[in-house]
């Protein structure tokens, strides 16, 4: 009996095993390390994501409105440059060396930021007085000036954003797509997300505990210190704890990846080079040829629309929501602790949705699973924008439903984000990655790199462009919340385009997978 024959499932799982763990015993050696890698990658992503927001939103002279300028003028150009670098490195390096070469600089910077850069930001950054003076002199750039003045926070923000696109979307999922066949993906991918989102359940309490530990040190500090100075010192302790945990998780990722290369990819039952990727290998293309190939591929174009739509919609909502959080939690440690409990809730809800989503992937169609996320984002966003718009008619601290107007907006926004991200992690990511599997090796590697980094960044920068343009045109200290009556309808239109793209991609996905299944059977 051949190795390929032994890897084909003999029968479908039934009962609780079929719902919660449809993995054959011999596949655990392949499945579990991948789940651990994803768990650590998402742990790091959520630690640095919550930290970057805390830094930028609460920076001297800054606010949530700064995020749109940073995404558009910082993250997007950096993502494009990184994608070009990635394609060049992919052409000259073998897969394992490429993985370590990309991973290591991220971990070095995150550690250096906490221990070497943040303690000296009072010397490295503009003073608050300088930022405020420039904001008065140049009102059109009111929210751009704090981004420049607090430049190291901007660098941290950019690399934190790239972690999700580069480490998760490019390195992890390309590796998973290379070694996973379609019949395995229907069982593996939903569970990868379920195990991976345990990282959120760990990251949330980690953020909260670090914030509480740092705040507890306040009692032993000199009470004569300026309040802002004391807050910065306390947050510095918090930051060291968080980035220390990031470095540990990064080491686990590297060690697990090495173990898989030595013990899984050498097992013919679990992996054979080229399986599921077609028998003919296309020659390597240049960067220019790669772009031309991607732009002429309608299938990749539709995947890019899905990524673009999610990025624009969720960023238009998040910008407004994070502004409300700053009003409710003006202290950096309190803001970070709130984001920690948000992350924990996101992880819990996502895992619950993973159980449902994994069975939708296995029992229903790709289209049914893929269309749930845009519908969820549409419904919850409409409710959130209405609450914010209605709240602008009164003071943020006015009483409402036993709390304040701003806290109602924060809570509704949290529910919106938790449900949107839950369906994104449980269904959107899995269905998107499944869509890459029928493609040839060139499209999988270079096409996915372009779609994930360029498409993902274009999504975030698209939302950032809309927000930053409005803020710059109006000028001064105008807030995003005051523009909710405009941003809400834009999100509705984007979600409708998203749904239409799912239907279009579904037709092409079915055609490719049916053709691939026929060729494998032959």
Residue 270 near residue 30 (C-beta atoms within 8 A): yes
518: its two tokens: 């026929």
- Report how far apart, in Å, the C-alpha atoms of 409 and of each of 100, 160, 185, 267, 475 are: 42, 26, 39, 53, 25
Q: Which residue has the tokens 């960067």?
A: 287
Residue 453 near residue 79 (C-beta atoms within 8 A): yes
* Cα gap 42→185, rounded to integer Å: 19
Furthest CA-CA distance within the chain: 80
Confidence (pLDDT) at 284: 46
Would you call 362 exposed, middle or buried from its count of C-beta atoms within 10 A (0-12, 13-18, 19+)?
Answer: middle
Distance of CA 288 to the CA centre of its chain: 28
How does 35-58 read in b/e, with b if 16+ C-beta sit within 10 Å?
A: bbbbbbbbbbbbbbbbbbbbbbbb
Residue 371 near residue 414 (C-beta atoms within 8 A): no
DSSP state of 452: I
Confidence (pLDDT) at 287: 47
* Cα gap 453→167, rounded to integer Å: 11
Q: How many CB atoms lie within 10 A of CB 82?
A: 20
* Cα gap 204→307, rounded to integer Å: 26
Distance of CA 132 to the CA centre of its chain: 32
CATH of domain 27-277+286-521: 1.20.1250.20
Q: Give the pLDDT confidence of 140-166 residue by residue, as tens digits.
A: 899 999 999 999 999 999 999 899 888
Enumerate residues 6+ apart whose C-beta is below 8 A from 192: 31, 34, 35, 38, 176, 430
Confidence (pLDDT) at 338: 93
Within 264-331, residue ranges assigned H as helices are 287-295, 298-328
* Cα gap 432→309, rounded to integer Å: 13
| Full-model pTM | 0.81
Distance of CA 143 to the CA centre of its chain: 24
What is the C-alpha radius of gyration for the chain, rounded to an integer number of angstroms? 23
Confidence (pLDDT) at 4: 44
Find, among 249, 95, 67, 234, the residue nearest to 158 by Cα: 67
- Report how far apart, in Å, the C-alpha atoms of 214 and of each of 24, 43, 112, 144, 211 are: 45, 20, 19, 30, 5
Supply the DSSP string of 319-381, one letter for each residue.
HHHHHHHHHH--SHHHHHHHHHHHHHHHHHHHHHHHHHHHHHHHHS-HHHHHTHHHHHHHHHH
312: its two tokens: 């624009």
pLDDT tens across the length of the chain (522 residues): 444 444 444 456 666 666 566 677 777 788 888 889 999 999 999 999 999 999 999 999 988 889 989 988 898 888 888 888 888 888 888 888 999 999 999 999 999 999 999 999 989 999 999 999 999 999 889 999 999 999 999 999 999 989 988 898 788 888 888 887 766 776 777 678 778 878 889 999 999 999 988 888 877 766 666 777 788 889 999 999 999 999 999 999 999 999 988 888 777 666 666 553 333 343 444 445 545 655 677 888 888 889 889 989 998 999 899 989 998 898 889 999 999 999 999 888 888 887 777 677 777 788 888 899 999 999 999 999 998 888 776 665 555 555 678 888 999 999 999 999 888 877 888 888 888 878 777 677 767 766 765 666 677 778 888 988 888 888 777 888 888 889 999 999 999 999 999 999 988 888 877 765 555 544
């Amino acid at each position: 009996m051949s190795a390929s024959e032994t890897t084909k499932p003999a029968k479908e799982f039934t009962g609780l095993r079929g719902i919660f763990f449809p993995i054959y015993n011999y596949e655990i050696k392949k499945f579990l390390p991948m789940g651990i890698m994803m768990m650590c990658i998402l742990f790091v992503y959520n630690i640095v994501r919550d930290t970057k927001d805390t830094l930028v939103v609460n920076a001297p002279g800054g606010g949530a409105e700064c995020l749109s300028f940073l995404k558009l003028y910082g993250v997007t150009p950096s993502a494009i440059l990184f994608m070009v670098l990635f394609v060049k490195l992919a052409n000259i390096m073998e897969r394992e060396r490429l993985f370590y070469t990309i991973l290591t600089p991220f971990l070095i910077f995150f550690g250096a930021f906490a221990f070497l850069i943040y303690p000296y930001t009072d010397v490295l950054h503009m003073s608050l007085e300088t930022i405020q003076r420039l904001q008065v002199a140049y009102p059109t750039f009111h929210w751009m000036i704090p981004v420049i003045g607090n430049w190291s926070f901007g660098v941290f923000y950019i690399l934190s954003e790239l972690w999700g696109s580069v480490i998760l979307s490019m390195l992890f999922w390309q590796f998973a797509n290379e070694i996973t066949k379609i019949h395995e993906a229907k069982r593996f991918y939903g569970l990868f997300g379920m195990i991976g989102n345990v990282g959120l359940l760990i990251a949330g309490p980690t953020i909260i505990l670090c914030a509480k530990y740092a705040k507890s040190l306040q009692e032993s500090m000199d009470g004569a210190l300026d309040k802002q100075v004391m807050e910065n010192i306390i947050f510095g302790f918090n930051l060291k704890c968080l980035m220390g945990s990031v470095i540990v998780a990064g080491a686990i990722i590297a060690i697990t990846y090495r173990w898989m290369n030595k013990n899984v990819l050498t097992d013919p039952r679990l992996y054979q080079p080229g399986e599921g990727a077609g028998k003919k290998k296309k020659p390597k293309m240049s960067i220019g040829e790669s772009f031309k190939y991607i732009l002429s591929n309608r299938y990749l174009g539709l995947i890019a629309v899905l990524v673009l739509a999610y990025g624009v919609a969720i960023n238009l909502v998040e910008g407004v929501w994070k502004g409300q959080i700053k009003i409710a939690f003006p202290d950096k440690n309190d803001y970070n602790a709130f984001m920690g409990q948000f992350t924990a809730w996101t992880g819990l809800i996502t895992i619950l949705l993973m159980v449902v989503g994994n069975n939708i992937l296995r029992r229903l169609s790709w289209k049914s699973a893929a269309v749930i996320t845009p519908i969820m984002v549409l419904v919850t966003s409409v409710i959130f924008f209405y609450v914010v718009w209605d709240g602008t008619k009164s003071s943020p601290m006015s009483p409402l439903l036993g709390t304040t107007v701003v806290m109602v907006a924060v809570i509704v926004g949290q529910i919106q984000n938790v449900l949107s991200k839950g369906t994104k992690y449980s269904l959107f990511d899995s269905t998107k990655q499944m869509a890459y599997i029928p493609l040839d090796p060139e499209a999988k590697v270079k096409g996915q790199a372009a779609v994930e980094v360029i498409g993902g960044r274009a999504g975030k920068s698209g939302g950032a462009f809309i927000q930053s343009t409005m803020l710059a045109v109006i000028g001064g200290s105008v807030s995003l919340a005051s523009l909710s009556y405009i941003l809400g309808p834009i999100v509705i239109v984007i979600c409708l385009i998203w749904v239409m793209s799912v239907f279009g991609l579904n037709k092409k996905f079915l055609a490719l997978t049916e053709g691939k299944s026929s060729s494998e059977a032959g």
